[in-house]
Structure 1
């Protein structure tokens, strides 16, 4: 599925998400940098910030140079971070600087500029979308670490809907089937289906697809469509909560979510279809 938002919207949202992440990091202070990230338990908050900041700088160099092949990570200026001795303000400044470089590169390139990616879409538009949603999800990780996820984490519903579209596009792709061996577990449930039903999206205009998703599992493949349809299991709740659930950042047992039908199928899906 093509990007559902404009190129400028992705650039603006990426800038906004980065600012929220950096502000939270600075406000949390030095001690918080050593806190373990519950959703990425091998990382501290410092590691999470260095990972995301390095990824954004790598994407920025890829777009800026109009790369025709994968850019080596060690060739990215400043990509390894400001150093272990850097405090929260210095880390936040490094993080924000790299993100600004990416946003500038994306705006300069425009959506149709040919750029290497790991997907079929070989354009700058791919990186605008991927960087935005990567930042949204890792901001959720940071807010969870700081005990702010339920209290302060919000995402515009249409951005969250686009995030779920992108996530499904990736995990249902032939490339994912080839490289994500965990997806093979779903072969035991060939013929099963799942339905994601947000409760806070407006009704579609005439001719538009609904902001609901039907995921169908086959033997060796998966497919999804935007549709209101019966399924073996349905998950209902606010759009942002659905996005976090499919990324395994929120339990389906959360009070804002409702699961109807085959909970075992949902649990198997969440265990198997996991890439970020």
Structure 2
């Protein structure tokens, strides 16, 4: 249904006035913590827009500001697009953030014992982590680019490498035999994947296991997979992962958005009883409710905790980062950073159904 220019202009103006009022409001009128939660939630919602929509909204907000008389209020309105990141390209930001995390991951595994167990993944070790992420990078690059420069791609997606003896193969998913060479193999694959992502149109159609089958799906996926992979490595090495609230929230939402497209998990979820799983981020006030009805999951996100907790069959509380590690199976029920109340049997069945 088309939206009239008058409606779009009015809604933009109302949004600008509200966002600016909350930003500059005296804490004697509005509690600063509450104001910050509202603004953070608004920012998260705006970040879901496509780059094109973000640019459009940025222009509309600036047009709204320019219609105001010159002065302090007009200046505050003009700062909204920058303060809420509307001028930033999420695709490029994801690529930059992923590059930084990959460097940290490579540094973490370099010189570490490849047989070190991953605490959140029974039966898996650091060598498996390197192989999985190297394979992810190469699959991403193959979707977007013609080939990996600097090596001899063997063309094998799985199984033994078919490159000539002595040649360096960067084009398949098989890591080098020598553990000392694997961190560099990981770094090369990531560099090739990120170069392909940066060189592609974010809105170009690209296959993907989720609702957004465009290039930008893969930059977000690579970043968030590296967030969890780095946490895996840090936990294995006795370090404490530090995942910012906004990153944890983004990871939870990406996981829930893609879950219905995981055919194996969808089949297992089909056997679950009806119920509601509630996730409460204690550091930001964000709430996610996952409702299973007739074997199909659906989810919603709200800004702050409300009285709906009593409707949940089971409730899990923790920081957004710890909740991300929980839904991804790294933190299990009973972890000291989580607080769980309600039907543990339903929660156990949900975790078993969604396990990867």
TM-score by length of 2: 0.64
* Aligned residue-pair number: 250
Cα distance change of structure 1 residues 248 and 93 upon mapping to structure 2, 3 Å threshold? same
Gaps of 5+ in 2: 1-44, 50-89, 148-154, 163-168
1:244 to 321, 325, 328: 325
- Could you tell which deviates more after superposition, 217-226 or 118-127? 118-127
Aligned-pair distance for 1:24?
0.7
SS in 1 for 2:114: helix
Aligned-pair distance for 1:65?
4.3
- 1:14 pairs with 2:14: no
- 1:112 pairs with 2:203: yes
Aligned-pair distance for 1:95?
0.7
2:186 to 90, 95, 115: 95
2:299 to 224, 248, 256: 224
Distance 2:264 2:177 in 1: 37
Task: Tell me the equivalent position of 1:271.
Answer: 352
Aligned-pair distance for 1:177?
5.0
Gaps of 5+ in 1: 204-210
SS in 2 for 1:226: strand
Instruction: Report the structure number with the largest CA radius of gyration.
Output: 2
Cα RMSD (Å)? 2.6
Distance 2:218 2:157 in 1: 16
Aligned-pair distance for 1:243?
0.5
- Could you tell which deviates more after superposition, 77-86 or 266-275? 77-86
Task: Tell me the equivalent position of 2:278.
Answer: 195
Cα distance change of structure 1 residues 212 and 72 upon mapping to structure 2, 3 Å threshold? farther
Aligned residues of 1:48 and 1:138 also touching (Cα < 8 A): yes
- 1:154 pairs with 2:242: yes
1:43 to 120, 124, 137: 124
Aligned-pair distance for 1:16?
1.7
TM-score by length of 1: 0.81
Distance 1:51 1:178 in 2: 19
Aligned-pair distance for 1:260?
2.1
Q: What does 1:248-263 correspond to in 2, within 5 Å?
A: 248-263=329-344
In the TM superposition, what whole-angstrom CA distance separates every residue of 1:204-263 from its partner, at most 9, and x where no partner exists? Answer: xxxxxxx31011111121110013432121111111100101111012322221112222
